[in-house]
Chains A and B, each alone.
Chain A
Amino acid sequence: MAARGPGRVSVLLRTYDERDNLPLVVWLLARTFSDSGIDFEIIIIDDGSPDGTQEVAQQLEKIYGSDKILLRPRAKKLGLGTAYIHGMKYATGNFIVIMDADLSHHPKFIPEFIRKQKEGNFDIVSGTRYKGNGGVYGWDLKRKLISRGANFLTQVLLRPGASDLTGSFRLYRKEVLQKLMEKCVSKGYVFQMEMIVRARQLGFTVGEVPISFVDRVYGESKLGGNEIVSFLKGLLTLFATT
C-alpha cells in the first residue's frame, strides 16, 4: 500500500445515474488536489446505476489508477447514510469529504475547507450557501424563499451554531464522521441536519466556508409538497429529541 501523508483526503461520492457528471467531477477533483498538492483518494459508491455509471467509473479507474479511484459499488439504490458507512470502511484518509456528484458542488472549495480546518482545528467544516459570498445559481424566487424560510425555522428551533444545516458539502475528520454515523437515524435533508446537531451535542466544533451551489437540474425535480412535509416532520423530531 502506498505511504499516506497525514493530510490525505478521502472523497466519498455516492452516484446514481451520474454517467455524464461523474468523469467531470473526478477530473475536477484530481485537478484541484494535484494543483494544491493534497494527497487524495476518491471512493465511488455507485448504487447499481442502470445508465452505465459503473462502466464510466471503471474507465476512470484505469485513467487515474486504482490507488486514487476506489470503486465500491452496491447492488441497488440504498440510503445516503448507509453509502457513507459503506464508503468509510475503505477510506484511508484522515479527512473525509462528502459532496454531491452532480457538479452542484465544485471541488475548488475543498482546499479552502482544509485551510479552514487547520485554522481552527475544526472537527467538521461545512460549506454554507447562506453566509459570506456563498450562494446559489439556478433557483427562482419561490425556491429561494422556501430555502431561507426553512433555514430560519431550523435556526430558531435548533440553534445549531451553523448557518447551513441542510447542506451536503462538508469535510469531516474521519473519527468524527464514524462517531456521528453511529448516532444518526434520519433520512434525506434531515440526515444532514442531524449530523450537525449531534456533532454539537457531542462537543465537536464546526467551521464554515462559503460555497456556491450550482443547480443545473432544478427544472426536473425536486421540491414537492411531500419533501416539505417530511422536512418539517424531521425538523420537529430533531427539536423534540435532541
Chain B
Amino acid sequence: RLSSFPFSPFPLSPLTPLSPQAAMTKLAQWLCGLALLGSAWAALALAPPGLQPPAPLRQALLPLPVYLLVAFGCYSLATVGYRLATFNDCEEAAAELQEHIRAARADLQRRGLRL
C-alpha cells in the first residue's frame, strides 16, 4: 500500500530501494534540489561584506533565480508549441479504419452475426 505521508523519507512498501533516489518521491527530490541550489545561491549572494564574491559575479547572481524561472517558462512554451505543431494527424489511419469496418461488417454478416 502507498504511504499516506508524502514527505516520508522511508518508504513503507516492502520494496528495498536500490539507491537513495529510488526511495525519494519526486516531490522530495525537487525539494532537495531546490534546497541545495537555494542555499548555494543564498550563501554567495547574501554573504556578509567580508566573504562576498567579486562585484560582477554578484550582479549576475542576484537575479539568477528569476532569470532561470523565465527561461524555463520560455522553454516550456516553445516545447509545447513545437509539439502541438508537429502533432501528427492520422488521416490515413481514419480512412483505413473505415475500409476495415466495411469489410468486417460484410464478413460478420456472412458468418451469421445479426445486428
Which residues of A come within 8 Å of B, CB atoms? 20, 23-24, 27-28, 56, 59-60, 62-63, 103, 106, 130, 133-138, 141, 144-145, 147-149, 151-152, 156-159, 183, 185, 201-203, 212-214, 238-242
Check if A135 sits within 8 Å of B87, measured CB to CB: yes
On whether the beta carbons of A212 and B84 are closer than 8 Å, the reply is no
Contact A242 B25 (CB under 8 A): yes
Please, how many angstroms separate the alpha-carbon atoms of A137 and B97 in the complex?
11
Interchain CA distance A56-B105 in the complex, whole Å: 13
Contact partners of B27 in chain A: CB under 8 A: 239-240
Instruction: Name the A residues within 8 Å of B60 (CB-CB).
Output: none
Contact B84 A148 (CB under 8 A): yes
A185 and B93 contacting across the interface, CB-CB below 8 Å: no
Asked whether B104 is an interface residue with its Cβ less than 8 Å from the other chain, the reply is yes
Residues of B within 8 A of A (CB-CB), count: 35
Q: Are A28 and B90 interface neighbours, CB within 8 A?
A: no
Inter-chain CA distance A19–B13, complex, in Å, is 42
Q: Which residue of chain B has its CB nearest to the CB of A60?
A: B113
Q: Contact between A152 and B111 (Cβ–Cβ < 8 Å)? A: no
Asked if A152 contacts B108 (CB within 8 A), the reply is no
- B105:A201 contact, CB within 8 angstroms: no
Q: Which 5 A-B pairs have the closest CB atoms?
A: A135-B88, A240-B6, A212-B93, A212-B90, A27-B104
Known A23-B108, A130-B83, A201-B22: A214·B93 in contact at CB below 8 Å: yes
- CB contacts (< 8 Å) of B80 on chain A: these are 145, 148-149, 152
CA distance A61 to B86 in the complex (A): 42
Judge whether A103 and B97 touch: CB under 8 Å: yes
Given contacts A62-B112, A136-B87, A148-B84, 16 further A-B contacts (CB under 8 A): A23-B115, A24-B105, A28-B100, A63-B108, A136-B88, A136-B89, A137-B89, A148-B83, A149-B80, A152-B83, A156-B76, A159-B26, A183-B2, A183-B13, A214-B93, A240-B25
Beta-carbon contact of B91 and A137 below 8 Å: yes
Q: What's the least CB distance linking A32 to chain B, in Å? A: 10
CB distance from B83 to the nearest CB of A (A): 5
Expressed in whole angstroms, the Cα–Cα distance for A241 and B99 within the complex equals: 46
Query: In the complex, which residues of chain A have a beta carbon less than 8 angstroms from the beta carbon of B25?
Result: 239-242
Bound-state Cα–Cα, A145 to B104, Å: 34
In the bound complex, CA of A191 to CA of B37 (Å): 33
